[in-house]
Structure 1
Amino acid sequence: METEVQAMPAALQPAFYELNETFDLDTNQLILLEGFQDCGHPAVPTVQPYVFDRDRLRKLLAFLDNPEGDGLYLTGPTGCGKTSLVVQAAARLHWPTQMVPVHGRMELDDLLGQKVLDKGATPFQYGALSTAVKEGHILIMDEMDVADPAELAGLYDLLDGAPLVLAQNGGEIIPVHPRFRFVATGNSAGAGDGSGLYQGVLRQSLAWLDRFRCIEVDYPDEFTEIMILDQVVPDLPTIVREKMVKLANEVRRLFTGDAHGRGEGESQLSVTLSTRGLVRWARLSLRFQGAPRVFEYALEQALTARVEPAERQAIHRIASDVFGELWEGGHES
């Protein structure tokens, strides 16, 4: 009787990468970063266009190099690039990554793994956390602040350096791989959402948060977002990319309730145009460049089709003011 042999991921071998070349920076320092050789591992993220903020990148790389017993928590508004910062750094270092989209009903067993039925047998299938601890991957708990704090309490010992114990697999003990890294993201800083903008955010235990160093992430500045669009949609005219970024900042200003910068008669918006949404709008504008009123057509799909009619009209009115004649006529291919 033949036994089916499943292909195993290639063994990870360490490799070193030069900072400037790897992250497209221009510094006067020669710094080598430890990562892994490019072996086609399926868990290594795909490299995508990304403009790294130097300060945040410095903090992230310091953590990846030596967490010193900490986890890393990135906090900031929706779509500002918290997760992408980690994923794109990992992609360039060829570091396998396990992504866990957190939800309010998540249980610890979802992270550890479970036994599954396979041709009459019940082998144990390792979860994202178990795999990351065992093989030295980066674990990203995306939107960790919506998780039940009681479930996360089961991870305290792990972040303190204790091995992972899988009671579900006969008490298997998994020592923590020296290259394992625990990263979490959240729209809040863990103390709950006082703004009321993010549904489902829960106040996390202080004992849990005390195990993390924190990086605050905000939307990129105007120059950086123009650079991002330059990489993602280089075929869009420069003036269009600039006006898209200007509109995004106007929408954000009204979303955050910046009364000091808000003009008389302007209302606060309940939605924002994140960097993620901005890129989506730009790509759709390029995709549908032959459509009438293409920027309005694309903006509806990217954002405004899901908002109340009054807010949709307000955003489109601001866009018309920002774009001028371009709003009516679109752009040439």
Structure 2
Amino acid sequence: MSAMASVAPPVEPYYQPCGDEVAIFEQCHARQLAIMLKGPTGCGKTRFVEHMAWRLKRPLITISCHDDLSASDLVGRFLIGHQGTHWAEGPLTRAVREGAICYLDEVVEARQDTVVVLHPLTDHRRILPLDKIGEILEASPHFQLVVSYNPGYQRILKDLKPSTRQRFVALDFDFPPAEREIAIVIHEGATDYATAHALVTLAHRLRALQDRGLAEVPSTRLLIATARLITSGIAAQAACRAALISPLSDDAVLVAAMRDLVDLTFI
């Protein structure tokens, strides 16, 4: 389990709002409400949280969830050192004490017994029981819990229990409209309008292949990576094959179909 340090972003993370998500997040923070971000991989959920931490001037602790994430990984554990046993706080405990925004990325990947640890923090109690040291920690007024997940593919095998879902205000994310996505690719990919327009047009064509068995459609993140390669001097077709097509699938038929679309886009 890895967690980013609890420091507020020093420079404004670039983010293009698509609706009223900024206002809703601000009101949830002011009213101590937990937030759930739902949307496909690479559509801007993490960047949105980084932007809001900067906007609210709050430290941000990001935790990438996975199957082996335990409650102790979040809360803390006793460690044995040269001077004996000592208590080491986990990232969730630090966020609760410091009044940070704690962001659990892909929370559905964590075990259900781990997710249950979040429940007392997401209702009127706003407490974190530290059973191993006999302490009940009250959350700082500035503490906010944010979780995210991709309902598109995770719901097939995993999902949050209703008792967990109903503790959050939910914001639905999707890939931005074409012109906004072009603006994002231009800014983040350091590219020109023509290249960004071609990449976004290609992405829309590739996303239509989801009905043909493509498990994950190309994200805005992949478009930015492709744009950066093109800007560095890599030929457009080669950049698309390496940064856009190969990460999506190993299926020969799908890969061939996607490469045909690349060739049609960058003639």
TM-score (ref. length: structure 1): 0.72
CA distance in 2, matches of 1:162, 1:43: 22
2:228 to 260, 264, 283: 283
Q: Is the 8 A contact 1:60 1:86 kept in 2?
A: no
Contiguous gaps of at least 5 residues in structure 2 = none
Deviations 1:182-210 (A, max 9, x none): 1100112xxxxxx6x34885132211111
Residue pairs, 1:123-142, within 5 angstroms: 123-142=86-105
Larger radius of gyration: 1
Corresponding residue SS for 1:50: coil
Q: Distance in 2 between matches of 1:175 and 1:64?
A: 16
Assess if the C-alpha contact under 8 Å between 2:105 and 2:147 holds in 1. yes
CA contact (8 A) 1:145 1:201 kept: no
Q: Is the 8 A contact 1:148 1:202 kept in 2?
A: no
After superposition, where does 1:1-333 map in structure 2 within 5 Å?
43-45=7-9, 47-67=12-32, 70-160=33-123, 161-168=125-132, 170-188=133-151, 197-198=153-154, 201-234=157-190, 236-255=191-210, 257=211, 267-287=212-232, 289=233, 291=234, 294-306=235-247, 307=249, 308-324=251-267
Letter in 2 for 1:74: L
Residues 119-138 of structure 1: per-residue CA shift (max 9 Å, x gap) = 32332211111011111001
Percent identity of paired positions between Structure 1 and Structure 2: 27
Matched with 1:38 is none
Distance 1:273 1:299 in 2: 11
Q: Which amino acid aligns with 1:116?
A: L
Cα distance in 2 between the residues matched to 1:221 and 1:64: 27
Shift of 1:162: 4.3
Query: Within 1, Cα distance between the matches of 2:117 and 2:189?
Result: 44
| AA aligned opposite 1:323 | F
Call closer, same or farther: CA 1:199–1:62 in 2, change over 3 Å: closer
> Does the C-alpha gap of structure 1 residues 201 and 283 become closer, same or farther in structure 2, counting only changes over 3 Å?
farther
Distance apart, 1:303 and its partner CA: 2.9
TM-score by structure 2 length?
0.88
Please give the alpha-carbon distance, in whole angstroms, between the structure 2 residues aligned to 1:237 and 1:101: 33
CA contact (8 A) 1:99 1:139 kept: yes
* Residue 93 to residue 155, structure 1, CA distance change in 2 (3 Å): closer
Q: Aligned pair in 2 of structure 1 residues 147, 62: CA closer, same or farther (>3 Å)?
A: same
For structure 1, the residue ranges without an aligned partner over 5 or more in a row are 1-40, 189-194, 258-266, 325-333
Q: Which protein has the bigger helix share?
A: 2
**One-letter amino acid of the counterpart of residue 197, structure 2:** E
Greater relative CO, 1 or 2 (CA 8 Å, sep 6+)? 2
Partners of 1:237 and 1:84 in 2: CA distance: 22
Q: What do you get for the CA RMSD once the two structures are aligned?
A: 2.1
